[in-house]
């Protein structure tokens, strides 16, 4: 298997890799749906929950219609689903994602869970009746919402999680779809909870910066030095947000909601220490 573009490091006497393909449209592509939460640690840094819900692939098992040098006719083989439609996404959420959340969610946490998805066209709406029914089973209340528009940094998976998985996956060279699925799943399983925790801290930093910019996206994130803080044992579990910033953001949200004159959020200044970004995820 190959990608549209690849980079190779060669010695002077090595021959350039030769790849042939009719068109880049013929390069096999497999779509995955990845679901993660925030890793949990105790005061001693022991992992209580790794935050991994699962990584699900959009594939199907079909019979080979013709004989080839790789397999006989009629052999079952895994093929990527060519058209990932709204119905395919819905089936994945209802039959795979929600059961995985209910199985792996820590029992001591609230069962009110919000899933954020990006704005891809095949994604369903959060008010879909079948999804709502499935999300309100076994004592859970699972809702679905879209990523805010024009805010690419508000996707926790794109802040480093996918890059980390891809780096691990590229340590092997899969030749078939089955090998690719095993490689991706192996990379997902091998990713450390500490890495996922750093990604969530970056996500919280993005949210805090957007709130400080009054919903703007003209910002530059400052380096926290998470690796250094982790080595000295001072990496925070969550980032603190000033109460003034939270109140001002609530005011801006209230001004943007013309359908009601009621306050969207009410705060008690005495509880300032409790307003952490993790409480708003």
Whole-Å CA distances, 16 to 7, 11, 210: 11, 10, 46
pLDDT along the chain (281 residues), means of 10: 79 86 82 93 89 94 84 86 93 96 94 92 92 95 90 85 78 84 90 90 89 79 84 85 87 67 47 40 36
Q: Are the CB atoms for 29 and 58 separated by under 8 Å?
A: no
Kindly list the structural domains of the chain, giving each domain's residue range(s) and its CATH number in brackets, ordered by start.
Answer: 28-247 (3.30.420)
d(CA 257, CA 132): 25
Q: What are the residues facing 143 on neighbouring strands?
A: 114
Q: Are the CB atoms for 161 and 34 separated by under 8 Å?
A: yes
Whole-Å CA distances, 227 to 165, 166, 194, 223: 18, 20, 10, 10
- List the one residue out of 44, 62, 124 whose CA is nearest residue 87: 124
**What local confidence, expressed as pLDDT, does residue 278 receive?**
36
Segment 177-232, tens digit of pLDDT: 898 899 899 889 988 999 899 989 999 998 888 888 877 777 787 888 888 888 88
Cα angle value 65/70/74 (rounded, 5°): 30
**What local confidence, expressed as pLDDT, does residue 185 receive?**
92
- List the one residue out of 88, 276, 79 whose CA is nearest residue 181: 79
Segment 7-27, tens digit of pLDDT: 888 999 998 888 777 888 888
């Amino acid at each position: 298997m190959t990608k549209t573009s690849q980079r190779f490091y060669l010695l002077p006497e090595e021959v350039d890799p030769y790849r042939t393909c009719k068109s880049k449209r013929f390069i096999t592509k497999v779509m995955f749906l990845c679901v993660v939460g925030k890793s949990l640690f105790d005061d001693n840094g022991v992992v209580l929950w790794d935050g991994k819900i699962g990584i699900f692939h959009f594939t199907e098992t079909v019979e080979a219609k013709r004989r080839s040098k790789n397999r006989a006719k009629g052999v079952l083989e895994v093929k990527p689903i060519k058209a990932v439609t709204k119905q395919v996404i819905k089936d994945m959420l209802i039959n795979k994602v929600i059961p995985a959340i209910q199985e792996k969610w820590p029992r001591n946490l609230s069962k009110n869970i919000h899933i954020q998805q990006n704005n891809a066209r095949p994604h369903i709406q959060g008010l879909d009746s079948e999804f709502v029914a499935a999300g309100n089973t076994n004592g859970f209340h699972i809702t679905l919402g879209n990523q805010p528009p024009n805010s690419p940094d508000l996707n926790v998976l794109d802040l480093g999680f996918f890059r980390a998985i891809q780096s691990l996956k590229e340590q092997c060279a899969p030749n078939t779809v089955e090998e690719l699925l095993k490689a991706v799943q192996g990379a997902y399983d091998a990713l450390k909870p500490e890495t996922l925790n750093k990604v969530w801290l970056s996500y919280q930093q993005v949210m805090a910066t957007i709130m400080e910019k009054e919903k703007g996206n003209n910002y530059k994130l400052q380096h926290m030095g998470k690796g250094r803080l982790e080595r000295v044992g001072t990496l925070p579990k969550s980032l603190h947000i000033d109460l003034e910033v939270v109140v001002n953001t609530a005011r801006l949200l209230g001004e943007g909601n013309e359908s009601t004159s009621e306050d969207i959020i009410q705060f008690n200044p005495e509880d300032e220490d409790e307003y952490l970004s993790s409480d708003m995820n």
